[in-house]
């Protein structure tokens, strides 16, 4: 058995690509438009997984955009996606500066949670040892669910 990808449905492909690629740093590996099925599939990979994603088609995140409008619920039931990051403070600062709510701030220098435009929880984990705790993160409260 081999892990391939996780699929999440997105309501606005442009907003989702901005969040996952421009803000989180994932990279588009492939895209497929289906006129007959009226959907677009976009496969993304973390920078350190690009070679594996291109060669093995894994591990990736599949964004599915159905062209006919639909309201998605149940993102919390899904659980979350998790990514290891090089500097959790720098990434959270960049996300926050772009208007992304830090639902669970990285108070411990190790873990944070944010949500995608479609309400999918994203866990961010510091690579290696936790960073030393620092402000403003130490004093920040949780916001919403994560």
Concatenating the DSSP letter of every residue in 68-125 gives: S------HHHH-EEEEEES-HHHHHHHHHHTT--EEE--TTSSEEEEE-TT--EEEEE
Main-chain dihedrals φ then ψ at residue 20, nearest 5 degrees: -70, -40
- Whether 123 is a known active-site residue: answer yes
Q: Per the residue annotation, which of 27, 62, 93, 123 is the catalytic one?
A: 123
Residues with catalytic annotation? 123
């Amino acid at each position: 058995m081999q892990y391939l990808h996780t699929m999440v449905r997105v309501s606005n492909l442009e907003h989702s690509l901005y969040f996952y690629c421009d803000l989180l740093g994932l990279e588009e590996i492939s895209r497929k438009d289906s006129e007959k099925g009226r959907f677009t599939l976009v496969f993304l990979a973390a920078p350190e997984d690009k070679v594996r994603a291109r060669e093995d088609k894994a591990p990736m995140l599949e964004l599915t955009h159905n062209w006919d409008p639909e309201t998605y619920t149940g993102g919390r039931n899904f659980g979350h996606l998790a990514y290891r990051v090089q500097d959790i403070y720098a990434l959270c600062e960049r996300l926050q500066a772009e208007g992304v709510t830090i639902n669970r701030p990285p108070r411990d220098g190790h873990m944070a949670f944010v949500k995608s435009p479609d309400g999918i929880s994203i866990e961010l984990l510091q690579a290696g040892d936790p960073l030393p705790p620092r402000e403003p993160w130490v004093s920040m409260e949780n916001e919403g669910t994560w």
